Amino acid sequence: THIKLNTQHVAPFMSEHEYEEVRPLIAMADQELRQGTGVGAEYSDWLTLPSDYDRAEFKKIQEAAKKIQSDSKILVVIGIGGSYLGAKMAYEFLHPSFNNELAADQQAGVKVYFAGNSLSSTYLTDLIRVIADQDFSVNVISKSGTTTEPSVAFRIFKQLLEKKYGTEGAKKRIYATTDASRGALYEESQEAGYETFVIPNGIGGRFSVLTAVGLLPIAASGGDIEQLMAGAKAAQDDYSQPNLDDNDAYRYAAIRRTLYDKGFTTELLITWEPSMRYLAEWWKQLMGESEGKNHKGIYPSSANFSTDLHSLGQYIQDGRRDLFETVIRLDNPQADLDLPKMADNRDGLQYLEDMTVNDINVTAANGVALAHVDGGVPNIAVHIPKQDAYTLGYMIYFFELAVAISGYSFAINPFNQPGVEDYKKAMFALLGKPGYEAETKAYRARLDQ
């Protein structure tokens, strides 16, 4: 296996007996998921995606990525939520920290900028300035095709493409990733003749990074999508055992579930690399949208260390004791640096001169784990060997499987998101969207009071 779970720092908070007690819950969740008897089973196709994905579509993605690389310097990826976070996570995880600022010959593919993930007019204006006169293409991603944020951004970048390349030229630079047969974006794509990619029906937004949703932007940026899928496939094989002791994804789910029952209701995903911040953002959506239902579920939060030790660190060490940490531990960094040797010791760092910067990072992580355990914060370590596409694919599958199992152990539907729809309803009503007339009156009256 390519992920190693170290539960040494959970042991003080969880007895063997408790581990035995959660076993039947996990076994039941396994059956619901694997036999398709659980609620929401129609959205569990991600479970076999790494072995069953559509090879023809995959080839089409690779070809489109090549075309984008041949005629564009920039790909603007438009989407939000599940149609955004997977690609953003992978872009940051797989490429150098300052990829968009590097010279073209140092980049693996095109630069990627993301839009449609907020309603900020300033952000859009600034991005248009960055593009300036550079050649670009657009990948608009929306399953429903009616989400406000990406629809607004798409209008703006479509107009920009049309001004620059004419209506026909623009069409050849627009790639639409959407439902196979319905929705506004699907209809428009059919009419205009954009190249389209499919978001399969049986896979919800937050589980969709290994479909065209994530794969096209990742491939265009020069990420190795074959390795990504190979890693996910290895995880699919490794985590097919229902027995807790042989399945780290299940063991992780079991530990989280037990900790929750003991009052540890907030989980922090801790990363020690700035390039993994969006891994945490993706993970928060996956966990929060899957589990936060029927007034239950672990609240997912995150921190990036050592940066946040100088802000959130105080609370984690000493605030309310309802937190536990899941720490991504990278065993081999992308790059390392020797600490420069100095003739004097004015900065007091001479005692570190035999260490690399990464050695210091690793030692800090060890120390923080001990301090936090002493402060009453259980700490699960998830060791990954490398920061590459294979490992990312493996880790994606690990977390997807873990949350499905833990979701069923909470007796909720891990695959829907009714709460997200509630905010959309209120916003559409206030904006005066046709079809929402009754709600428009009611919501506006409430604001006027």
Catalytic residue positions? Answer: 289, 424
Nearest approach in angstroms of CB 202 to ligand PA5 is 14
> Which is it for strands 74-78 and 323-330: parallel, antiparallel or unpaired?
unpaired
Q: Select from 430, 427, 428, 425 the least CA-distant residue to 441.
A: 430
Q: What residue is closest to ligand PA5 based on CB?
A: 81
291 lies in the binding site for ligand PA5 (CB under 6 A): no
**Cross-strand pairs, 303:** 270
Instruction: Name which position in 72, 83, 99, 107 contacts ligand PA5 (CB under 6 A).
Output: 83
Q: Are 223 and 95 in contact (CB under 8 A)?
A: yes
Nearer to ligand PA5, 287 or 312 (CB): 287
**Residue of 237, 179, 241, 247 lying closest to 208 (CA atoms):** 179
Q: Which is nearer to ligand PA5, 79 or 378 (CB)?
A: 79
In this structure, are residues 296 and 410 in contact, taking their beta carbons and an 8 Å threshold?
A: yes
Q: How far apart are CA 189 and CA 181, in angstroms?
A: 11
From residue 261 to residue 290, the character string flagging contacts with ligand PA5 as x (rule: CB under 6 A) and all else as - is ----------------------------x-
Q: Does 205 bind ligand PA5 (CB under 6 A)?
A: yes
In the bound state with ligand PA5, the residue whose beta carbon lies nearer, of 206 and 372, is 206
81 lines the binding site for ligand PA5 (CB under 6 A): yes
* Binding of ligand PA5 by 86 (CB under 6 A): no
Distances (CA, A) of 111 to 78, 225, 334: 14, 16, 20
Is 413 a binder of ligand PA5 (CB under 6 A)? no
Which of these, 247, 179, 175, lies nearest to 216 by C-alpha position?
Answer: 175
Count each helix (H run) and each strand (E run) in the chain, helices first: 16, 10
Minimum CB separation of residue 422 from ligand PA5 in Å reads: 12
Of residues 133 through 162, those in contact with ligand PA5 by CB under 6 A are 142-144, 147, 150
User: Does 417 sit near ligand PA5 (CB under 6 A)?
Assistant: yes
- Tell me the closest approach of the beta carbon of residue 308 to ligand PA5, in angstroms: 25
Of 394, 387, 333, 395, give the one whose Cα is nearest residue 360. 333
Binding site residues, ligand PA5, CB under 6 A = 80-83, 142-144, 147, 150, 204-206, 289, 417, 420
